[in-house]
Structures are given as structure tokens and as C-alpha cells.
Amino acid sequence: MTDHSLTRFLASSHADTDPAETAEWRDAFLALVATEGPQRARFVLDELVRLARSSQVDWTPELVTPYVNTIPVDRQPAFPGDLAIEEKLASLMRWNALAMVARANAAYGDLGGHIASYASAADLFEAGFNHFFRARNETQGGDLVFFQPHSAPGVYARAFLEGRLTENDLAHYRQEITAPAAGARGLSSYPHPWLMPDFWQFPTGSMGLGPISSIYHARFMRYLTHRQLLDCGARKVWGVFGDGEMDEPESMSALTLASREKLDNLVWVVNCNLQRLDGPVRGNGRIIDELEKLFRGAGWNVIKLVWGSDWDGLFARDTTGALVKAFAHTVDGQMQTFAAKDGRFNREHFFGQDDELKRLAQGMTDEQIDRLKRGGHDLVKIHAAYAAADAHQGQPTVILAHTKKGYGMGAAGQGKMTTHSQKKLDEAALLEFRNRFNLPLTDAQATNLEFFKPAADSAEMRYLHRQREQLGGYLPKRQTKADKVAVPHLGSYASFATAAAGKEMSTTMAFVRLLGNLLKDKALGPRIVPIVADEARTFGMANLFKQVGIYSSVGQSYEPEDIGSVLSYREALDGQILEEGISEAGAIASWTAAATSYSVHGFAMLPFYIYYSMFGFQRVGDAIWAAADQRARGFLLGATSGRTTLGGEGLQHQDGSSHLVAATIPNCKAYDPAFAGEMAAIVDHGMREMLLEQKDVFYYLTLMNENYAQPDLPADAIDGVIRGCYKFASYPAAAGKSAGVVTLLGSGAILTEVVKAAQLLAGEGIACDVFSVTSWSELARDGHARSEQGFLAGQLAQSRGPVIAATDYVRAVPESVRAFIPAGRRYLTLGTDGFGRSDTRAALRAFFQVDAASIAAAARGAVEAP
């Protein structure tokens, strides 16, 4: 038999040197399979591999199988639907999606949009909608479905037929601002829950984030089940993604997690149209083979869905394996050319390769050759693959579905290099499309790009509704109803922080203690999801290992080295901590799954993800942006934060910018508290906003590892803490001296430097008022939202003189409130712009000029200036 792997085919240097002997081996093996069956054949192969290894033959089986369907015809289940109607429906979806994009662009050329991606994915979606994707309703939790982003027009087209969107809505695709004036709802470019909160569940527009997110959502469902909080047993996560998208590191980074966790509730469908935006995904290779190896090596169940039903006959007649041989040396760049060309070209250049192939093509017209379907365009084959995936146990499944990009767009787009960005079709192309898919449109209707919806009582429409009814309702549909979770009284869990009485501790230590207390609360405790990316010990959280355990789907099958310790490493099926290992991308995906549980599952959870602050917004900022889009509710804790507070770790670790980025996310409330009491008040307020008031906000808090005396938090300061600042203390000029008056603002760890500066200045006769700024971004938002005096200006009205602000972040952070400083007062900002480096805190603060001496110097200069 010919080697069917492209890599080995291309690499093979030696031909068969003894064909007669090869034939003997082959015959013996075939006889074994025929007489003893596949199980015995597998045993013998295993034995041969063992022998080969012990004889140093240096051979491992290829992970690639032939370029044919994994599910043979004789194991294909009967198609349970009405094929003709489903094909008709798919054609209508295709048309309305195309019309939507083309109309928007005919009217406003700058709106953009995509036709070719959905053209390739339409059948993959339709098979799911008609037979597999279960909706959530009162009686079932439903499936989670991630849609390939550039195929959004197709999902809108379906919702239009389902009666969930109107024709006017479709006409306002990508016109979200102007739509309401026309009595329509604008349709977002890609799946965005922020913009269509009752429709889209999962934001997928940024390549790679959908794939990784789907894995962690599937794992989180296991977590909910194993912790006996919510039974997600029968539910599945489906994700349709692009083959180009698989290049993203996020797409691939959690594949082994999915198999290690045996996530058989997860099915990926990779739409292998062999193209991405600029060109082929693997022009000189084969993406389906490459992905097969990758996924199989990662422990997934792989189903190749390569060819449609009309190929079955060809394969049956191909007794010499000519097709498989031909595929073995056809690279994707060439496959794409075959997709772009007509039947005649394919007859000459594919089937014309040798006599055997020519023979196979005999009796087929050029038109029939042209219409030979790839597997991802054949509803029967797709159904078979989905059914196998749905039933598969013990592993996640990936379906590698071979499609054509721009399928059906004819000479205008199918398989063309430029098809990704094509938004228009000329009249001839529209009529060709109409004919190709037998659409019931007149020439005028087609060329005018009219939307088409069959009559309500037509067979197609009745079928469409009935299939969805059987699957529990329509989808995608985002829901928001979730129970409220009671939040304990601040004093019951945080008095150690709010009444610290000068005790020394860092805000990180205080947070960990507070979290430990919250975890003990009967109502709230079980809903908390502590998440770390291998840094629990760095943040002093090892005590939680014992207290609540680390989640493990298999419990703990070893005796931990530190078993005798009170802090011993404890993994358990009902463990509560999600220990994600060294993957910030994974940890944030995990956080997102927990933070959106209120919506995805109707069951509120409260995640606290604590990490090195530099490896948050900077490292996984786009994933945080997507979580914001998904209306996440939870806490992000940027620990060991600040450019100068994390002394020795140096340039890559010292964060001076996370607050700048956090401020750009509209539903992120970011705080840089100086004291444990402030931190506790913020966490308390956040829990109330998210769990009781059910606001779509999330909180970012920076925590420090510097130990210092923690003052009590006066009750009347809490309002200011939440709104962004409060007056911390006044330092009157030393007796007999009067050299001026200044106002000092400080946040986070630098507040202690500000206080020292104030004491210095007071001694010199400069009276100081010190304000603790807990959130620059909340102050700025408040200022921008008002026409009259903002909160900051009101607070500063209690003080006099020039205002000096200092933080452990770049200057742009305190600069963000400049416009809200009371008129007539100078405003100077000190920050840590530049690269971090290693040294002591004192040396770093002097270097960046945010130490007490630098703050005092700036204040003196400001007081002396005319």
C-alpha cells in the first residue's frame, strides 16, 4: 500500500527494494484481519512495534491517516432529517447572509463584512442547528456554542428566518449607531455579548480566544458538576473555528488540558477551507494532516470529514488506491486551485494525472465533477461526524471538516486568494449564485439583493421551527437571570483589615486572609473560585490548599511530599482552587468561565484570579477585553504590583502600566488601594455590586508585597474609598513655621512615601493635606461624566495649595485626572515612566523619583513657584 502521509511521501528516499517480499507481508496481514478481526490485528501490530523498538529500528507509526473520511460509509448512521428541506434552508441562509453583507456595502462602502467564511461554514452550522445544538430552557441547561466570528451573517440570517430578527434589522448589519433611528436593531460585526446582550453568548472575534475559552468553559462545567453545585452532565460545548485560527497560540495551548481532563463534553469543528485571509493556511503542506497529528498527539479523538457522499462511489470503484495516492501528493495550495477552477480543469489536472484516475472520472460530466462536494458541504456526512462526536466518550473530539472558502460564489469568489475580503458580487455572479443554490428568486430580486423568507406555513419554515423546538428552543441566546448570592457583612470577615490598629502586613497578605474568611461563609463561600497560575505560594496562599483543596477531576492519587505539613498540597475532586499551572491565557479563560457562570449557567460564581500584575493586562489584555465583552463579573488581583515595590525582580516583572490599560475597559473598576482596610471595603462593595445588584462590572485591584503599618479605616472614609479618594490626614506646619501649604495625593504603596514627605514638609513649615487615591480611573470617569464639579474637585476643596500626585505607575495614570483639579491650583505628577530594573525599594523609588525626598522636593518647588 502506498504511504499516504504527505510528509513521509515527500521524505521517502528509498523505493520498495523487494516488492515480492512486501506483497507477502501485506497478504499475511490482510489475511489476519480477515480471519481474526481488528482486535487481533491491533495486538500483532503492537507486538511488532515493541519488537521494532527493542531492535533499535527507530520507527514510530505516523499519526496521520489517509486523506479520507474517518467514518466509513458502512458505519454512517441513517440521516434522520429531511435532506431536501435542510439543503433548501441552508441555501436560504447562504443567500440572506450574502445579501446582508453586499447590501450594507453597496450603501456604505466602509462597513466591511465577510461572505466567504460563512459560505464555507453554512452546512457545518446548519447540521448543528437542525440536529445537535441544544438550547437552554426551563428543563435543560443546553449546550454552549462558539461561532466562527466571520460567519456571524449566517447566524443572523437564521435568526431572521426564525423570526428573532426582522428584515429591517438585517438591513442594519454593522450599523449599530444609526439603526435605532430607523426602528431597527443594529447587528454587530462579530459575536459581541456587550452589544447584543440577549443574543450572543461568547465573543469570538479575536482569533484564538474562542477556542481556548471553549475548553475552559467545558472544564468549568466539570468543576461545577464535581463540586456538586450544578449538574452539567449532559451538556456539551460546541465550537466552530477556522483552520487559520488554529495558528494562534491560544488555540493550541490548552489542547492537552482538554484531553487530560477527558472533556468528552467538548466538540470542535475546524472549518478547513484551507485558506485564511491572505492566502492558503498551508500552501505547501496539508492543514488537515497537520491538525490531525497535532490533535491526535494531544490526545483528542479526531474525525476527518474530507469528502462528500458523491465521492463514495468513486472510492468504491477505486480498487488500486489511486485517489488516496493522488491526494497524498496534492498540497493545499493545489487543492485551493482545484476549488477555484471548474469541472473541466479538475478533469484535466486532477483526474488527468494517470490512467486509473481518468478511468474513475469517465462517465461524469464536467458539471458533475465541478459539483463533487467536500465533506464539510455534505449534510449527511456532517451529521455522521457530529453524531459520532456527540457519542464519543473519554476524550474531546475535533472534526476536521474539509470545505471550500467562498463555496458557491462561483468564478467571483470560490477558492480565490482574495475571497476573504470580497463584499460585493456583480449581477452575473448573483444570478449564478441564485441558480447554483436553486433559490426561488426572480432575476430582479436576486440582483436587488432582496432578502427571502418563505411563507410561515411552508414546509421549510415548519421544519425549521420543529427542529429547534425538539432541541429546546432558539440559539444563540444569552440569558441573565441568576440567583442573588448573599454577601456577609464587612465586619464579619474583614475587621482585621478595617480595624488593623497599626498592625504591619502587606495588602497581599490581607487579601489572602480576607479570602480565607470569605471561603468560610456558608452562602458565599462555595461560590468563590480562587484561581492561580502557579503562584499561590508567591502570594502566601498555601494555607488554602488544605482549607479548600485544589480541584482535580481525579482526586489525588499520590502521597504529597509535604503530607505531614498543615499546609500540605491537597488535590480533591471537590477542591475549590483552580490551579492552572503556568498559563496566564488559561487562567484568564478559566476566570472568564467562572465570571460568566451567572449568565451561561444561570448560576452565579465569584472568581478571584490572583497573578503577578505585570502578567495581566499586558500579557493577556485581549482576553480580558473579551471577558469584558462577555460581561464578566469577578475580581482580578494584580499582586506584587508596582514598578518599585517588587524590588528585585526587574524589568519584566515590575508593572507600571496595568492601571493605564485597566482604565480603558469601560466595565472594569480598577483600584490601587494603599491599605488593607481600603482593599476590604472595595472587595465588599464589588461583591455587592456584582452579586446583589447584578451589575455587569468586574474589579481590578492591585496588591503589594510591602509590609507596613496598616491604619484603621474610618467608616466615613468608605464612600471616598469606593469613589476614588478620601482625605487621609492633615499635617500642620511645625510650630512657629509657615512656609506654605500643599496638597499631596498618593496611591498604593507610594502613599507611605507621600506620608513621609508630608512629615518632612510639615517639619519645614509647609502644611500638608494628604489624600489617599484608591482609583484614578474612577475619579477620571466621574469627572468626565459630570458637567458640574466632580467628586475629586469636591474632595480637594477641603484643601489648599498646589497639588502633587505620586504613584508607582506611569505618569499618565495620575495625569488622567488633571482636568478635574480645582481651577487655579498647580498640579504636578510623579510616576515611574521607563523600564524597571532590580534594586532595593529605596533605591528604585529614588531612581524613579517617587520616594519621599522627591515628593517633598516637588512640593517645595511648587510652593515656591510664583
Alpha-carbon span 728 to 757, nearest angstrom: 14
Q: How far is CA 392 from the centre of its chain?
A: 25
Examine residue 816 and tell whether it contacts ligand TPP (CB under 6 A).
Answer: no
Stretch that binds ligand TPP, among 203-211, 252-260, 312-320, 385-393 (CB under 6 A): 203-211
Q: How far is the CB of 428 from ligand TPP (least distance, A)?
A: 24
Stretch that binds ligand TPP, among 202-210, 499-507, 712-720, 775-783 (CB under 6 A): 202-210
Q: What residues from 141 to 160 belong to the interface with ligand TPP (CB under 6 A)?
A: 150
Q: How far is the CB of 282 from ligand TPP (least distance, A)?
A: 11
Beta carbons of 379 and 283 less than 8 angstroms apart: no
Sign of torsion, CA 377 296 331 30? negative
Provide the mask over 383-412, with x wherever binding to ligand TPP is found by CB under 6 A and - wherever it is not.
----------------------x-------
Q: How far is the CB of 153 from ligand TPP (least distance, A)?
A: 12
**H or E element at residue 612:** strand 606-612
Q: What residues from 4 to 33 belong to the interface with ligand TPP (CB under 6 A)?
A: none
Beta carbons of 374 and 122 less than 8 angstroms apart: no
Phi first, then psi: give them for residue 577, nearest 5 degrees.
-80, 135
Q: How far is the CB of 93 from ligand TPP (least distance, A)?
A: 16
Nearer to ligand TPP, 403 or 775 (CB): 403
Alpha-carbon span 672 to 657, nearest angstrom: 12
Q: Which three cell numbers stand for residue 305?
A: 470529514
Beta carbons of 476 and 145 less than 8 angstroms apart: yes
Q: Among residues 493, 476, 430, which one has the least CA distance to residue 136?
A: 476
238: number of Cβ within 10 Å: 24
Q: How far is the CB of 399 from ligand TPP (least distance, A)?
A: 15
Alpha-carbon span 456 to 466, nearest angstrom: 12
Nearer to ligand TPP, 604 or 665 (CB): 665
Q: How far is the CB of 340 from ligand TPP (least distance, A)?
A: 14
Q: How far is the CB of 407 from ligand TPP (least distance, A)?
A: 11
Q: How far is the CB of 179 from ligand TPP (least distance, A)?
A: 23
866: number of Cβ within 10 Å: 2
Nearest-CB residue to ligand TPP? Answer: 242
Q: How far is the CB of 207 from ligand TPP (least distance, A)?
A: 4
Nearer to ligand TPP, 247 or 342 (CB): 247
Nearer to ligand TPP, 117 or 645 (CB): 117
Continuous H helices in 83-140: 83-107, 116-131
Nearer to ligand TPP, 116 or 266 (CB): 116
Beta strands in 322-460 (DSSP E): 397-402
Q: How far is the CB of 121 from ligand TPP (least distance, A)?
A: 6
Among 120, 201, 597, 630, binds ligand TPP (CB under 6 A): 120
Examine residue 207 and tell whether it contacts ligand TPP (CB under 6 A).
Answer: yes
Alpha-carbon span 358 to 347, nearest angstrom: 8
Stretch that binds ligand TPP, among 67-75, 199-207, 477-485, 494-502 (CB under 6 A): 199-207
Beta carbons of 484 and 149 less than 8 angstroms apart: no
Alpha-carbon span 604 to 599, nearest angstrom: 8
Q: How far is the CB of 87 from ligand TPP (least distance, A)?
A: 21
The residue assigned the cell 463534553 is 265
Q: What residues from 636 to 675 belong to the interface with ligand TPP (CB under 6 A)?
A: none
Nearer to ligand TPP, 287 or 606 (CB): 287
Phi first, then psi: give them for residue 355, nearest 5 degrees.
-65, -40
Alpha-carbon span 619 to 299, nearest angstrom: 28
Q: Is 694 left (phi over 0), alpha (psi -120 to 50) or beta?
A: left
Nearer to ligand TPP, 332 or 579 (CB): 332
Alpha-carbon span 803 to 60, nearest angstrom: 71
Alpha-carbon span 92 to 161, nearest angstrom: 9
Examine residue 123 and tell whether it contacts ligand TPP (CB under 6 A).
Answer: no
Q: How far is the CB of 580 from ligand TPP (least distance, A)?
A: 21
Nearer to ligand TPP, 207 or 531 (CB): 207
Q: How far is the CB of 420 from ligand TPP (least distance, A)?
A: 6
Q: What residues from 234 to 293 belong to the interface with ligand TPP (CB under 6 A)?
A: 242-245, 271, 273, 275-277, 281
Q: What residues from 415 to 474 belong to the interface with ligand TPP (CB under 6 A)?
A: 420
Nearer to ligand TPP, 154 or 673 (CB): 154
Alpha-carbon span 268 to 259, nearest angstrom: 13
Q: How far is the CB of 374 from ligand TPP (least distance, A)?
A: 13
Nearer to ligand TPP, 113 or 607 (CB): 113
Q: Among residues 361, 342, 343, which one has the least CA distance to residue 351?
A: 361
Q: How far is the CB of 247 from ligand TPP (least distance, A)?
A: 8
Stretch that binds ligand TPP, among 200-208, 458-466, 813-821, 835-843 (CB under 6 A): 200-208
Phi first, then psi: give them for residue 634, nearest 5 degrees.
170, -175
The residue assigned the cell 505560594 is 537
SS3 of residue 306 by DSSP? coil
What is the distance between the terminal CA atoms of the chain, rounded to a whole angstrom? Answer: 92
Alpha-carbon span 796 to 726, nearest angstrom: 9
Among 7, 137, 206, 838, binds ligand TPP (CB under 6 A): 206
Amino acid at 581: G
Nearer to ligand TPP, 404 or 723 (CB): 404
Alpha-carbon span 135 to 464, nearest angstrom: 14
Alpha-carbon span 226 to 205, nearest angstrom: 31
Q: How far is the CB of 244 from ligand TPP (least distance, A)?
A: 3
Give how many residues touch ligand TPP by CB under 6 A: 19
Nearer to ligand TPP, 124 or 862 (CB): 124
Nearer to ligand TPP, 103 or 114 (CB): 114
**Strands 550-551 vs 503-505: parallel, antiparallel or unpaired:** unpaired
Q: How far is the CB of 190 from ligand TPP (least distance, A)?
A: 8
Nearer to ligand TPP, 41 or 417 (CB): 417
Q: How far is the CB of 274 from ligand TPP (least distance, A)?
A: 8
Among 76, 96, 105, 117, binds ligand TPP (CB under 6 A): 117
Nearer to ligand TPP, 423 or 837 (CB): 423
Provide the mask over 822-861, with x wherever binding to ligand TPP is found by CB under 6 A and - wherever it is not.
----------------------------------------
Stretch that binds ligand TPP, among 34-42, 201-209, 357-365, 378-386 (CB under 6 A): 201-209
Nearer to ligand TPP, 421 or 435 (CB): 421
Q: How far is CA 317 from the centre of its chain?
A: 45
The residue assigned the cell 467545558 is 218
Beta carbons of 582 and 257 less than 8 angstroms apart: no
Beta strands in 368-443 (DSSP E): 397-402
Q: Among residues 456, 468, 423, which one has the least CA distance to residue 108?
A: 423
Beta carbons of 551 and 577 less than 8 angstroms apart: yes
Name the site residues for ligand TPP (rule: CB under 6 A).
117, 120, 150, 205-208, 242-245, 271, 273, 275-277, 281, 405, 420
